[in-house]
Amino acid sequence: MKKHRTFGIIAFICFLSVVPALGHDCCHHDHHCGDCCDGYHDCCHGSQADRNSTGVAPSSGVANLPNLDGTISEIVYLPGATPDTGMVEVRMQSAGQSELIRLAPCGFLKQSGPHLKEGDTVSLKGFRVAGMEGGLIVATAVQKGDKSLALRDSRGQPLW
């Protein structure tokens, strides 16, 4: 009986910690990359365990896409264990299509640049992966103007 009560209490506490996170729209902000981490915005960290920050890199050769040029229409911050470990994704308009692109952890982008914001025109290299909600492009490099940053190696492994 005591074990059931303990399990019930633990389950209730877990439920209470998840409900506020579900009601908080932390993954859709209209500010630029860096605001979240510089200000330690509560959306860059949370009670979730450290997500797989190495992303979705394939184990063998990567089928790279040609350069993808477009305009950032949305910056999405995925929560991490600390402010700098939250993953940054961008939604980009390119050739009349909207593409979701996974970049890197917020801290890596903040430290290495380029500084990205909605409305920026960028060029990306990457590879496409299938996800639960459709396709995702995992960026291997990003360029804004004359500033470029390598995000992953030729096998798709993160450089952070």
**CB-CB neighbours of 103 under 10 Å:** 26
Shortest CA distance to 158 belongs to which of 102, 91, 82, 84?
Answer: 102
Q: How would residue 65 be classed by pLDDT, with cut points 50, 70 and 90?
A: confident
Of 48-52, 143-147, 148-152, the range with the lowest mean pLDDT is 48-52
Q: How would residue 94 be classed by pLDDT, with cut points 50, 70 and 90?
A: very high
Tell me, what's the pLDDT at 84?
86
The C-alpha atoms of residue 87 and residue 92 are separated, in whole angstroms, by 16
Distances, alpha carbon 77 to alpha carbons 3, 24, 105, 133, in Å: 39, 13, 9, 17
Domains with residue ranges and CATH for the chain = 27-150 (2.40.50.140)
Question: pLDDT tens, 21-55?
Answer: 333 333 344 444 444 444 333 333 332 333 333 44
Question: Is residue 77 over pLDDT 60?
Answer: yes
